[in-house]
A and B are shown apart, each in its own frame.
Chain A
Amino acid sequence: MDLYDAEKYDVAVIGAGHAGCEAALAAARMGCHVIMFSINLDAIANMPCNPNVGGTAKGHLVREIDALGGEMGKAADDTYIQIKMLNLGKGPAVHSLRAQIDRRRYQERMKKTLEQQENLDIKQAEVVKINFIDGKVSGVVTNMGAIYEVKACVIATGTFLKGNIVIGTLQYSGGPDGMLPANSLSDCLKEAGVKLFRFKTGTPARINRRSVNFDLMEIQKGDDDIVPFSFSTKNPRENRSVCYLTYTNKETHKIIMDNIDRAPLYNHSIHGIGPRYCPSIEDKVVRFKDKERHQIFIEPMGENTEELYVQGMSSSLPEEVQIAMLRTVKGLEDVKMQRTAYAIEYDCQDPTQLKASLEFKDIPGLFGAGQFNGSSGYEEAAAQGLIAGINAALKVKEKEPFTLDRSEAYIGVLIDDLTVKGTNEPYRMLTSRAEYRLLLRQDNADVRLTEKGYQLGLISEKRYKEFLKKKELSEKEIERCEHVNIPPSNEVNELLTSAQSTNISTGIKLGELIRRPELNYFMLAPIDKDRPELDKDVAQEVNIAVKYEGYIKMQIEQVKAFKKLEQKLIPDNLDYSLVAGLKKEAKEKLAKQKPQNIGQASRISGVSPADITVLLIYIEQMKRG
């Protein structure tokens, strides 16, 4: 291969999936010259698995990305065909948005945004090598032989690195969705001292709408009352499409069990580690033998296609078995399969090698994001891409890194989990991973993060001003609810009676009424004479803040305790081998990961609370000298 010197950039982004797009846009919007590489420009922002954005906890991530000035929420709002708030029957902490996305339109929308972005160039090429000078990133080399000099590089390779497709006994080197794999970069990273893992994931078949009998399935509709992802979306689109629910049955399971020796997962031809929470259908059937049926959701891939996604049927069984098992499902008796389900194995890296800024601890200028960091999911990828892009830009500008902690955002939880705890399977965000989830709600992501996005230069002046106004309105209204007195009257008690709430005989604060379980802010509007006109989202925030005040206060206390441990610093260069009483595994892990504070140390797997006690005593004794 002939090498040549191509242009100079500040930041190179390797990969144009959901992580790469956010990284490139953030760095460019912060004023850096950015080049983004993709093996195929038609793969930009592709959804090679489910055509969804959001979901439990993932919806939170999208709203946080939006509040920080990222693109995913806006792109999803422009292209969804159905949207739904999940968990509405549960507490406000776990309400999460999920949308069905028109996949191709999303890709086009994102590609055009990238193409229109000042400071950003996109390039179809495979990066085969990263150059280093004195251990720092100095450039990237493409398969065309072009050498680009850069100051920082974000790796967001998704499942492309040494991608290996597995369908039954068929195996071949390949990337997702029919793309070429990236087979060279892994070796270069290994040489640079990066520890790589081998993970696996999979996707179900795609089928043709004409071959499906929807009459035998249950229809699944979107919300009537639509909340969009982006805080800047004013007039959200209508729902345009529906999904369907059907089930596997004994016959399906029999076909799977009869062919289980042909399943790569069970005949040991797959070595990568897959996600527990997203098992293949053969895995579900084997592990949950007593379950008579499993749910199958049929989801449209877009408005300009008859292709449908078969959620819940991810598989790596041979093609003929896949067809046979699909055809046992109610409504799919005559189904035509357009794309075969497959499993894909790929290289990713041990994320404990990263700092909270997503820069490698030992390789200045090199950042990682997305599935490359051991996560799974578009939203998890986008969130990391945004943070990696921001920090690559800050690195170029020689500024302090930007990080979020567990009490500030799901993004903070995600990155802390990955970089401190590490992961031994593709990591998925869950609401139960966030300790302070009542504070990290999807409805208040803007309150938590817009200011930070603005400081970084990713939120426009106009949007920031709107946000400040909204914030002031909601704070004022929360204040008013706690002070305004509702005197007893026939009108008040009639309303209370109709809501099956105890009547009042003396005056009561509006807030107290809102906190009654059978009431809420909205229901009390008729008797709340001085209530100002508020947007629905502001009113909703007021309702939650007042209604759940007790729990919110409790979580604020928990955050204080958390911060106390985060602020207990571990001296640099602490020699863990001198700390008597630390278990061997703890000594090794602590010495390797070099946590900055006790809080981080306590979250490293293999470090027990007893080890932390020992460490705290050691540090305290050092202090007392």
Chain B
Amino acid sequence: MADTIAAISTAVQKSGIAIIRISGDDALSVADKVFSGKKSLKDAKSHSMNYGKVIFQGEVVDECLCSVMLTPNSYTKENVVEINVHGGIISAERTLKAVLASGARIANAGEFTLRAFLNGRMDLSQAEAVADIIDSKTGLAQSVAVNQLQGKLTNGINEIRAEIIKILGLISVSTDFPDEDVDSLSGEDTKEKLIKLLKSVNKLIENADKGKILREGALCAICGRPNVGKSSLLNCLSGEERAIVTEIAGTTRDIIEEYINIKGIPVRLGDTAGIRENTGKVETIGVKKAVEYIKNADLCLFLIDAGELFTKDDAEIYSMIKDKPHITVINKTDLDNKALIPDEIDNKIYISVKDKKGIEELENKIHDTILGGNFSSDDVMITNTRHKEAVRLAKEELESAINALDTGFTPDMAAINLENAANHLGKITGMTVSDEVIHEIFSKFCLGK
């Protein structure tokens, strides 16, 4: 018995239509109480659209189209009715109110997805992907989550896991049947196979970092001496006049952030205070904040004024960022190039914020620096922290196994690491039973009363 839940399932925005989703044993009878059409929904065929009106307390709320999906062929595998009303908040909310008054209860966060998972419609990593899609900030992030929903992550992980189990099988054959003249796996053979596996796992982890960026956004710091045009660059990239742009050096004392979409990557772009040696007190606080911000950034845009000489301050800032992913942005190419930039300064790109020159190239470079040039959303990608942690643990176990073989342990000992690795990976796809997974679910989906 599943009680009947309802919620507005479209984002609350100025869209053309809004959908109120109802799921549960009584979905049809609940919907029938508010729906008035040619025939009642309980007589409607599965996967049919039914035109009618939403009536609440004797009044017409809106015109609507009701789609009916009967168990088990629905998102939750329960009876589902989706009431499509006109967009905008008022219609949707009044319709939901009517539905709740007719016997449904409001769904908890993620509850439709939870039901889909509990009813066997999707595995854990797919359910988590749905949560990611809901949260995703750009189209690219969403397409990665969609891939996961389609089971790509599950398949990728299962392939690696199957390979581990195959190796384990070979190891146990030679330990359990020592007299048989089967080809037993030597330490060297085992190691070779493990190194190959480790490569696949490393690729997953690399992609995981990218996945995190797609999900949570890359933190990108604009840094440089005062008055090289940092705030102007922020405004230019974000297309909004948010940062105060003046000609007095040291105007930005706090960090100004903007969320922008650069070629599909959600980027948190931060304009930091200009860094220089001689500063007033208030500005010093700004500089400290800037230094801290730069430390945490995934990418630094090091801004240089082409119209001025490369100074000690520039060199100082460069030394701060040179070991992080960075792009040296030489601004004000509209002015004469006087900067005489030292040779060791790398990853240079020339732009003019004022003339809007080189901005497209800069955006491309930001994209490529964050994701690497040959990135595709078709790659198996880990976006979820729990998944990444599991893969990281699996990687550690594989490394321990290789290390054990290197230091003279026999394959049957390394097998203990391999069993662990397989278990860690199994936690992602739900092949391994662990109550940690359950805790995760309880933290992600609101359960209980």
Q: Which residues of A contact B (CB under 8 A)?
A: 56-57, 86-87, 89-91, 93-94, 277, 295, 297, 430-432, 435, 438, 517-518, 548, 551, 554-555, 558, 561, 564-565, 568, 578, 580-581, 583, 598, 602, 609-610, 612-614, 616-617, 620-621, 624-625
Contacts and interface: CB of A to CB of B under 8 A. Distances in A.
B176 A432 contact: yes
Nearest to A435: B419
Contacts of A555: 416
B82 interface: no
B408 interface: yes
B270 interface: no
Contact of B1 (A548, A580, A624): A580
Contacts of A297: 179
Contacts of B119: 580-581
B120 A583 contact: yes
Contacts of B437: 613
Specify which of B1, B118, B432 lies most central, judged by the most chain A CB atoms within 10 Å of its CB.
Answer: B118
Sort A-B residue pairs by CB-CB distance and give the 4 closest, nearest first. A517-B408, A624-B448, A432-B172, A581-B118
Contacts of B412: 87, 90-91, 93-94, 431
A93 B442 contact: no
Given A297-B179, A435-B419, A517-B409, A617 B118 contact: yes
Contact of B420 (A86, A517, A554, A613): A554
B175 interface: yes
B433 interface: yes
Interface string B415-442: 0100110000010001111110110011
Contact of B172 (A431, A602, A620): A431
Contacts of B411: 90
B172 A580 contact: no
Interface string B151-195: 000000000000000001000100111111100000000000000
B309 interface: no
B124 interface: yes
A432 B1 contact: no
B153 to A, nearest CB: 16
A438 B404 CA distance: 15
Contacts of B441: 613, 617
Given A617-B442, A620-B442, 15 more contacts: A297-B179, A432-B175, A438-B413, A517-B409, A551-B416, A554-B420, A609-B426, A609-B431, A610-B120, A610-B430, A613-B124, A613-B430, A617-B118, A617-B447, A625-B449
A91 B410 contact: yes
B416 A56 contact: no
B181 A89 contact: no
Given A91-B413, A517-B408, A617-B447, A56 B177 contact: yes
A616 B437 CA distance: 10
B2 A87 contact: no
Contacts of B258: none
Contacts of B438: 613, 616-617, 620
Contact of A614 (B1, B118, B181, B435): B118
Contacts of B175: 56, 87, 90, 94, 431-432
Contacts of B442: 617, 620
Given A581-B119, A610-B123, A295 B420 contact: no
Nearest to A294: B181
Contact of B447 (A517, A613, A620): A620
B240 to A, nearest CB: 45
A424 to B, nearest CB: 19
Contact of A89 (B410, B426, B430, B433): B410
Nearest to A277: B177
Interface in B228-281: none
Contacts, number: 108
A621 to B, nearest CB: 6
A583 B447 CA distance: 21
B407 interface: yes
A624 B449 contact: yes
Given A578-B1, A610-B123, A613-B433, A430 B176 contact: yes
A56 B435 contact: no
A621 B432 CA distance: 21
B117 to A, nearest CB: 8
Interface in B74-116: none
A415 to B, nearest CB: 19
Contacts of B434: 561, 565
B89 to A, nearest CB: 33
Contacts of B420: 554, 558
Contact of A621 (B176, B433, B448): B448
Contact of B178 (A86, A93, A518, A624): A86
Contacts of B178: 56, 86-87
Contacts of A610: 120, 123-124, 430
B26 to A, nearest CB: 14
A14 to B, nearest CB: 32
30 contacts: A56-B176, A57-B176, A87-B412, A90-B410, A91-B409, A91-B413, A94-B176, A431-B172, A432-B168, A432-B172, A518-B408, A551-B416, A554-B420, A558-B420, A565-B435, A580-B1, A581-B120, A598-B435, A609-B430, A612-B433, A613-B430, A613-B438, A614-B118, A617-B118, A617-B438, A617-B441, A617-B442, A621-B447, A624-B447, A624-B449
B143 to A, nearest CB: 26
Contacts of A578: 1
A56 B168 CA distance: 17
Contacts of A602: 433
Nearest to B123: A610
A342 B120 CA distance: 48
Nearest to A288: B182
Contacts of A89: 410
Interface in B55-84: none
Contacts of A90: 175, 410-412
B446 to A, nearest CB: 11
B28 to A, nearest CB: 18
A86 B174 CA distance: 11
A578 B449 CA distance: 18
Nearest to B419: A435
B169 to A, nearest CB: 8
Contacts of B118: 580-581, 614, 617
Contacts of A86: 178-179
A625 B431 CA distance: 28
A624 B181 CA distance: 57
Specify which of B177, B179, B441 lies most central, judged by the most chain A CB atoms within 10 Å of its CB.
Answer: B179
A93 to B, nearest CB: 6
A555 B420 CA distance: 10
Contacts of A580: 1-2, 118-119
Nearest to B172: A432
A564 B435 CA distance: 9
A551 B409 CA distance: 11
A93 B419 CA distance: 15
A295 B182 CA distance: 10
Contacts of A614: 118, 120
Contacts of B408: 517-518
A275 to B, nearest CB: 13
B180 A93 contact: no
B14 to A, nearest CB: 37
